[in-house]
Structure 1
Amino acid sequence: MDTRSLGLTAWSAGLALLAYAVLTLQLQQQGSLKAPREWAKLTILLAVLSSLAWAGFELAFATGASPVFSVLAGLADQLRYASWFAFLLVLLRFSRARTEGFSLAGLISVAAVLGSWGPLALVLQTLGIQRLGDPARLFLFASMALPVFALVLLEQVFRNATQDARWNIKPLCLGLAGIFLFDLYLFSQAVLFNHPDEDASSIRGAVHALMVPLLLVSSSRRSDWIAKIQLSPKAAFHSATLLIAGVYLLFISAVGYYVRYFGGEWGRALQLGLVVLALIALMMLAMSGTMRAKLRVFLGKHFFRYRYDYREEWLKFTRALSAKNSPQELGQQVVRGLAEMLESPGGGLWLRTRGEATFSQTARWNMAPIVDKEEQASELCQYLANGGKIVNLEEYRSFTRRYGQLKIPVWLQDLPQAWLVVPLMVGDELIGFVVLASARTVIEVNWEVHDLLRTAGHQAASYLA
């Protein structure tokens, strides 16, 4: 490594050292050392301390200290991954989840093998033993396998987390995913060309430092943030990470060779730019509800005759309605089920008030409480009851004449993001209606959407009646 790369590595490692020191203090203030039986807190603290040690050893080596620090940095890096494995496995273990499709013992075994593979290769390399092959090559393979398995565990935790827990865990998952994805790129390149990319290696610490603020966001939202990470009672194994990692390794092999050897002076820049762009796009797609919604709408418009799989939508909606018992919970599930059909982030339910000829809000999901009541004889209720018609408020504002003499009440006009009003009909009787918030992406409210909502509205009304 030349002098310029060593200087950049030193600055990069210094930033990582500072970032991990701040995160260590944050965890210590939250009492991670005072809870010896809370394994999740202990393992994440060990992971951060290992990262702190790795950054310190990298800084010492880059500033001209003994080459021993390079070996110590490698060992600390392996310990860091082993600690993240332990943290993610603890979350899976103590989630009280009934797992399907995978064995937790199997994941622990794989973690143990990968966690010991790298240190063993380092020891063999230090002692000059080559009975199992080139130790340096084995270490590179181990270093590439670690982020792949870490991403697999991270996917299991995130995709099996309950909806309420995802708010706490999303910044943590984004930060760790950024670290693991960069390491995957770095070590897949090292395996491909039999040596690490000096440019990528020199900024590795800086990439870690950029991801640490996301870990700080998760840890600062509430003091008991780890305890609030709850997984679904029925967890399942998700293999998307393995598929993406396989495709990525094929991609990096093909693009790496082609661009490197046919791209002239721009070869390395194009190679790095393409890979980083692809990784950012994957992270945005995986973590952003809006991006996923746009992708589903695009696929629905251009690749399928019908936008919705009606059987799947009906089964999903039925499961949602059957999951809760109390009236309040059932009302919220009705709103949520209808909202998720159209990528809507929230909504509210209005049912007929007992003893009154009015409708009032009885349940809501990601919507502000509304105290206004709607008269049963109002123009809105009469319009909804006339054949179960759906009101598209965006269309109403632009093409009022399409709705005849309908006048939207003031409280509904003032409701932020109000989009669709879906009637809940039992026979010819209107028992309530749902107001959905504007979708995360532009969705054409055509005949197919109207049919889907009317059918779902009839089913929901039969549960609520």
Structure 2
Amino acid sequence: MISNIGYSIAAAGFLVLLLLLFTVRSSGLVKKLLLFAVFTNLLWALQYNRWLIPEPTVQQYLTFDSLKQFSWILFLSAALYNQFSSLPKILSQKTTLLAGSLPIAAVLILWLTPLPLHWIYLIHTVVALILLLLLEILLRQSGEQRWAFKPLMLYLGAVSVFDFVTYANATMVTYLDVNYIAAKGYIYALMTPFLLIAVRRMEHWGIKIFISREIVLHSTLLTVAGIYLFVMAMVGYVIKYLGGSWDTTIQIVLIALSVVLLIALFLSSNIRNKLKVFISKNFFANQFDYREQWIELTNALATGDDNLQDVYRTALKGLANAVKYDRGLLCKVNKSHYDIVANLYAPEPDHLHDEVIQLAIQYCQQKPWLIDLHEFLINPENYAGMDMDLKLVNQCEYQFILPIY
């Protein structure tokens, strides 16, 4: 039961990555090798799942493990020589012939000869070592591209080490320990995000995957919900294992609490916005989803009327929606003063806010930068030359001042 959850999560991760690879426009060999590797990993995770295959055999385990190992040997052999021009050239390399022949031999021996299984386990142990050796060679010769290869090293390194331990133990005791098999799904599930990051960094091979922040946000929320439900299930399992039992009242309270927390997590715009900012800052190279926001802004501007005031208001509304704000002012500067040409649910500037706007205009005439007043309070040195009192800014309700030319 517990092992099925791990393999299901791993299979879901491989399926998502497989679908993302299908969106890559490049049709080169590197894409095909990656598709083959990810597809074999997906099949491997599915056949370990007893919800789908109630009584899998050891032969099935070993066959799909061999297929998975062969796919990564093929990819790493091509990467070592940066040879993605033709498949026959990759297959004719000595590295591919020597390393790739072992998992193929394991399958043939398994199904065609009566050789004891511990010899098959030994072959898989050697293959895991070969994968680690190929990774070490690839890391040494990667040079300036080491940053792009590191996530791949982490993924294949971790799973290969676990495979080595699993099959080394099986070689000694002559059987596969079910505890290792149960844990393997969770190991792969935990390491799958590194494989996704690795594929995103393979731009030098023409692999460019666009992952929307909205997809990452919803995936993160679902992951958090899954972790929460998993923790609740583990608590129940531990209580049952220790000989205890759930009281009906406690069950109802915990279920109600779970539902409330999950609803709050999915419906709270504050939590979602903070999480989205955190994801954008830490997991994306660019800090703004320009493609999506540009489309939204273009659609908003297209709905405007011919009246000049409506055009101003439509433009202000489009900009505000792009940064998830519901209030704002659009001001037109005329030499020494400004006129408010559009107002989106914002109060008229009083003396304090008028002074802030005037000082911001003076600064923007010298440096046409976006002004984040919250950042100015924390790091005023980032706005050298802006003569604005911190006490004045602290009382101001504005956050962003954006010059438009």
Normalising by the smaller structure, the TM-score range is 0.3 to 0.5
Higher helix proportion = 2
Larger Rg: 2
Query: What TM-score comes out, normalization by structure 1 length?
Result: 0.40
TM-score (norm: length of structure 2): 0.46
